[in-house]
Amino acid sequence: MAMAMRLAAARVALAGPLGLRTALFSTLTSSSPFVPPPTNQAERPPPAEPSTNLFVSGLSKRTTTEGLREAFAKFGEVVHARVVTDRVSGYSKGFGFVKYATIEDAAEGIKGMDGKFLDGWVIFAEYARPRPPLPVNNAGPSPYPPAYGSPYGRQ
DNA sequence: CGTGAGCGA
């Protein structure tokens, strides 16, 4: 009958593009009796297009570039790896980038490290987005001095 | 308190 059921606080997961969440121990048992599906649940858009650049998120604040490279180098040849850190603080922003030599290695790296643990945190690996052409010429609103050569983002 | 979404110098 009327049992004092605990309000499970209908937490509407404000899932982003990936639904990133600290699902460490929580298995995310979405078995709510009343959970109206969103307007969209028939389309599963890919996170990004295949590329050699990988975007790794969910990194621990103490995970560094070497740790990231060492972790992804087990699934392919990592050409480049970097953990994004702040310029003024110097601390990791919690995500990084890993560039493989080929697309197939990148795919293996994703399937091998996406959803895995790194430094005690679940990390997410996916293809990175294409970056702006980087105005190496002073003919654009570049907040940064054109003192950097061609970046990564090309295969 | 770098407690946590995201895409880099």
Q: For the segment A2-42, what is each residue's pLDDT rounded down to a tens digit?
A: 545 544 444 444 444 444 444 444 344 444 455 555 555 55
CATH of region A53-127: 3.30.70.330
Q: How far is CA A61 from CA A15, A94, A123, in A?
A: 22, 5, 12
Q: CA quadruple A55, A112, A92, A145: dihedral positive or negative? A: negative
Q: Stretch A139-143: mean pLDDT, rounded?
A: 53
Q: What is the pLDDT of residues A59-112, one digit of tens each?
A: 999 999 999 999 999 999 999 999 999 988 889 999 999 999 999 999 999 999
Q: What is the pLDDT of residue A67?
A: 94
Q: What is the pLDDT of residue A119?
A: 94
CA distance A134 to A91: 24
Give the strand order in the sheet containing A53-57: A78-85, A92-100, A53-57, A124-127
Taking the domains of chain A in order of start, what are their residue ranges?
53-127
Q: Which of residues 46-65 of A touch strand B (CB under 7 A)?
A: 47-48, 53, 55, 57-61
**What is the CA A138 to C1' B5 distance in angstroms?**
32
Closest residue by C-alpha to C1' distance, nucleotide B2 = A91
Q: What is the pLDDT of residue A131?
A: 81
Q: Could you identify the residue written with the tokens 């103490």?
A: A62
- A6-15, A125-134, A141-150 — most confident range: A125-134
Q: Stretch A36-52: mean pLDDT, rounded?
A: 67
Q: Give which of A86, A85, A76 is closest to A125, Cα–Cα.
A: A76
Q: Is the pLDDT of residue A147 over 80?
A: no
Closest residue by C-alpha to C1' distance, nucleotide B3 = A22
Q: Is the pLDDT of residue A151 over 70?
A: no
Residue A114: both structure tokens together = 């996406």
Strand B bases, protein C-beta under 7 A: 2-9
Kindly give, in sequence order, each residue whose CB lies less than 8 Å from that of residue A53, ignoring residues fewer than 6 positions away. Answer: A97, A98, A99, A106, A127, A128, A152, A153
